[in-house]
């Protein structure tokens, strides 16, 4: 389905690049008025729900869509631990241990690190295998998307979504839900690609939206968050596809 811009609601777009997957042609487009970029047309929500619930976290090296639409999140444990430490160090620049919710936790190393530092943690993930792994380690986890989570409002000090917001059809709904779950002055932490103006250097069917510092700041502002810091810049280089993806962490506060 073709979609309109999240920020202006219009469809005044210019194409940036094109790729073909399973014989279907997809484009990255940019909104002319405000610069937001996205995948167009977009596959259905049902396609992505099946992808993330059944395949994304269990992909192996023989998966033809490894890196393009699936990812083995359980490899390279040393790097995953180091990343989790970096994430908690950034969060604790602005908050002391309290209640911590991670959405789409994957391998769960950030939850494990947070709990080891005294945070009261909960993870949400739509892949049951990931939920089972966390529960086996004594980590509270639920098989649910953020939009289906029915917990009490204003109970979390931090909501973290690492590599989530660019994967969903309506990022605004996720930001509003996070806002409702956070206590006053609570932190929302995002990890997402920092996309250059010419479009993503690596185009993935898993990424529905392509933000940069300007467009994610504007979307956060419209949903009552104040950006505190852009940090933890890194680069992901797929092995099977050309290009690379620069990534950033965005720490914001509930206004």
* pLDDT computed for residue 73 by the predictor: 65
For residues 161 and 236, is the Cβ–Cβ distance under 8 A? no
Instruction: Give alpha helix (H) positions in the chain.
Output: 45-50, 77-91, 109-116, 128-136, 171-181, 213-222
Interatomic CA distance for residues 102 and 26, integer angstroms: 31
Q: Is 22 exposed, middle or buried (0-12, 13-18, 19+ CB in 10 A)?
A: exposed
Residue 191 forms beta bridges with which residues?
Answer: 162, 249
Place of tokens 């839900």: 177
DSSP state at residue 81? H
* pLDDT computed for residue 5 by the predictor: 96
* pLDDT computed for residue 74 by the predictor: 65
Cα separation values, 202 from 64, 100, 138, Å: 17, 32, 37
* pLDDT computed for residue 63 by the predictor: 83
pLDDT tens-digit profile, the chain (255 residues): 889 999 999 999 999 999 888 889 999 999 999 999 999 999 999 999 988 888 888 888 888 788 888 877 667 889 899 999 999 999 999 999 999 999 999 999 999 999 999 999 999 999 999 999 999 999 999 999 999 999 999 999 999 999 999 999 999 999 999 999 999 999 999 999 999 989 999 888 999 999 999 999 999 999 999 999 998 888 988 888 888 999 999 999 999
């Amino acid at each position: 389905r073709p979609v309109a811009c999240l920020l202006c609601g219009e469809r005044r777009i210019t194409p940036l690049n094109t790729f073909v997957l399973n014989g279907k042609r997809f484009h990255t487009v940019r909104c002319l008025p405000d610069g937001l970029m996205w995948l167009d047309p977009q596959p259905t929500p049902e396609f992505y729900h099946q992808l993330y619930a059944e395949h994304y976290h269990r992909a192996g090296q023989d998966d033809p869509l490894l890196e393009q639409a699936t990812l083995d999140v359980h490899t390279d444990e040393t790097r995953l631990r180091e990343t989790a430490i970096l994430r908690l160090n950034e969060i604790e620049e602005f908050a002391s241990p309290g209640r911590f919710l991670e959405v789409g936790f994957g391998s769960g190393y950030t939850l494990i690190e947070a709990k080891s530092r005294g945070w009261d943690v909960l993870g949400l993930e739509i892949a049951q295998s990931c939920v089972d792994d966390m529960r086996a380690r004594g980590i509270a986890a639920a098989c649910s998307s953020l939009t289906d989570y029915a917990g009490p409002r204003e109970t979390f000090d931090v909501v973290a979504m690492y590599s989530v917001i660019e994967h969903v059809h309506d990022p605004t709904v996720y930001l509003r839900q996070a806002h409702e779950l956070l206590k006053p002055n609570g932190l929302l932490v995002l990890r997402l690609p920092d996309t250059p103006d010419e479009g993503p250097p690596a185009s993935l069917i898993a990424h529905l939206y392509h933000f940069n510092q300007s467009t994610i700041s504007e979307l956060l502002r419209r949903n009552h968050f104040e950006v505190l810091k852009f940090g933890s810049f890194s680069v992901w280089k797929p092995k099977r596809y050309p290009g690379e993806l620069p990534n950033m962490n965005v720490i914001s506060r509930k206004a």
